[in-house]
Chain A
C-alpha cells in the first residue's frame, strides 16, 4: 500500500497501463470475490424489487408495475400470516430447546472426560452429514411405525426441528468454548469460586456470544426448513410450505414482502450484535 503512485513514478517510469495490470494482478482475487458476492445478492435484490410489484396476472412473475399495496396489506393472501405464525412459534420453541440441550452437550464434550466421547461425537456430527430428505423420511418412518401418523402436525415438526438444530448448536458453542483459555476458569477456582460461581461469572459470559450465535442459527434453520417439515407436517402449514403451495398456483407478491422483512430484521440483529461487541471491546 505504501508503494503507491508517487514513489513508483520516481523510481521507475511506468505507463499507466502497466500500473493498472499490476494493480489488477494484486487484486484480481478481490474483484472475483466481489463478483461472487454480487451473484449471491442478486436474488435478494429481486426479492426486494418484487415486494413492490403489481402483478398483471395471478401467476405472473415479471415486474409489471410499482405499488405499495403488498406492504400495506401483508396478510392479504389467505392463510399466509397463519402459516407465518406457525413458523415463528415452532422456530422460537425449537430454538429454546435446541440451544439449551446443545449448550449442555457442548460443555460436556469440551470440559468433561467420559467413556463414549467418540461415539457421541459421531452421533452429533451425523445429522449434519445426512441429506434432509433421508432425515425427514426416517422420522416419518418412525412416526408411522409407532402408529402416531395421525398425530403428524405441530409437535412432530417441533421434534424434527429440535433434532436437526441440536447438532449445529453443539458445533457452534463447542467452537467458542474450545477457543476459551481454560486457565481463566482455573484461576477463578484458585480464588475460591465454587463450580457454580465459576460457571456463571466466568464461563457463561465468555461463551454467551457463541450461544447467541447458535440460537440465531437455530431459528433461521427452523424457520427456513422445508424438506423435513413437509414430510412430517400432516395438515399443519408452515411459511415455507405455504410458499411451496403458492409456487404451484401463482405466487402472491406479499411473499416477497415477508422475505424482505426477514432479511432486514436479521441484518439489523447482526449489525446490532457487531456494534455491541465493538462497544464491549472498546471498554
Chain B
C-alpha cells in the first residue's frame, strides 16, 4: 500500500487559496440578486421577529398590534415555557452525543476502511434521506410500537417491564432526533477525516505510537473542524425540531418548537416571537461557548 496514492493533489488546492481574484463591480453584480433575496427574506424577517416579540400581546391579527416595547413578553415566555426550552436543549445535547458515538465510527470507517466501497458507503449515508422526513419519522412509530420486535425483545430481556413501552417516551423522541440528524454529522466529519494526511499516521507509528495514541494525538485533533461543524449541524436543527416530539412523544415530551408552532397557530404572535428569539439566543450562546472551547474558528 503506497501512502502517496491517498494524498490529495496538494499543488492545485493550495494554489486556489491565494488565487488572484478579480476586482471591480463584477462581484457585486453576481452577488446582488441572491444577496438581496437573503437580506429581504432572512435578515429583515429576523429583525421583524425581534420587533414582533416586543408588541403589545393584547393586539390581534385582525385589530393589529401596537409596538409598546413590551419586554414582559420575554419574562412571560420564560415562565410559561421554561421547561420546554430546557427540555429542547437537553434532548438536542443527548441526540448530538448519540450522533457522535454512532457517526464517528461510521465516518472513520468510510474514510479509512472504505477502500473501493467508499463511494457506495457515502451514497448509503445519504440514501435514506431521499425518503421524506415525515414518512421516515412515522416509520419509527412502527419500529418502536408496542407489538413489534424491538419492544418484545426488550421485554423478554427484562430491560423493559411487561407493560413497558418505547413509543411516546423521551427515548423515542431522542431516537428520532438522533436518526434524523445523523447524516449532518457524518458528512462534514467524513470530509475532515478524508483530508487527514496518511503520512502523519505512518510517522506516528514509526515513532512508536500505539494505534490508539496515534488516533488521539493525530486523527482526532485533525478531525476537529469536521466534528465541530457536524455537531452544530446536528444540535441546532434538533433543538428547534418539533416533528419528532409530536410524532414519537407524548404531552410531557413537548419541545419549544411545539409551543412556538402552536402559539403562532393560535395567533399569539408576540409571545411566539419572543419564544423564538429566546430559542435563537440560547442556541447562539451555547454554540459560542462550545466553539470557543473546541477551539475552531474556521467554520464558514
For chain B, the bracket of interface size reads 35 or more
Q: Is the CB of A62 within 8 A of B142?
A: yes
Given contacts A131-B240, A220-B129, contact A36 B21 (CB under 8 A): no
Chain A residues with Cβ below 8 Å from B233 are: 128
Q: Is the CB of B132 within 8 A of A181?
A: no
Q: Is the CB of A133 within 8 A of B31?
A: no
How many angstroms from the CA of A245 to the CA of B69 in the assembled complex? 37
Counted as pairs of residues, one from A and one from B, with CB atoms less than 8 Å apart, the total is 286
User: Does any Cβ of B come within 8 Å of A52's Cβ?
Assistant: no
User: Does any Cβ of A come within 8 Å of B280's Cβ?
Assistant: yes
In whole Å, how far is B183's beta carbon from the nearest beta carbon of chain A? 8
Residue of B nearest to A241 (CB): B134
Chain B residues with Cβ below 8 Å from A32 are: 105-106, 109
Q: Is the CB of B129 within 8 A of A133?
A: no
In whole Å, how far is B50's beta carbon from the nearest beta carbon of chain A? 9
Given contacts A36-B102, A182-B20, contact A108 B12 (CB under 8 A): no
- Which single member of A130, A138, A149, A227 contacts B61 (CB below 8 Å)? A149
User: Does any Cβ of B come within 8 Å of A223's Cβ?
Assistant: yes
- Which single member of A139, A181, A251 contacts B41 (CB below 8 Å)? A139
In whole Å, how far is B123's beta carbon from the nearest beta carbon of chain A? 6
User: Does any Cβ of A come within 8 Å of B83's Cβ?
Assistant: no
Interface centre among B29, B232, B260 (most CB of A within 10 A): B260
For chain A, the bracket of interface size reads 35 or more
How many angstroms from the CA of A229 to the CA of B15 in the assembled complex? 42
In whole Å, how far is A236's beta carbon from the nearest beta carbon of chain B? 15
How many angstroms from the CA of A135 to the CA of B42 in the assembled complex? 7
Residue of A nearest to B21 (CB): A113
- Which single member of B28, B133, B269 contacts A224 (CB below 8 Å)? B133
Chain B residues with Cβ below 8 Å from A138 are: 42, 45-46, 48-49, 276
How many angstroms from the CA of A113 to the CA of B24 in the assembled complex? 8
How many angstroms from the CA of A124 to the CA of B278 in the assembled complex? 22
- Which single member of B45, B125, B236, B277 contacts A139 (CB below 8 Å)? B45
List B247-277 residues whose CB lies under 8 Å from chain A: 247, 256-257, 260-261, 264, 269, 272-273, 276-277
The 24 sampled A-B contact pairs (Cβ below 8 Å) are A33-B108, A36-B103, A36-B106, A61-B145, A112-B23, A112-B30, A113-B22, A120-B35, A123-B38, A130-B236, A133-B242, A135-B45, A137-B273, A145-B52, A179-B12, A181-B16, A182-B16, A220-B130, A224-B129, A224-B132, A226-B134, A227-B242, A227-B257, A265-B130
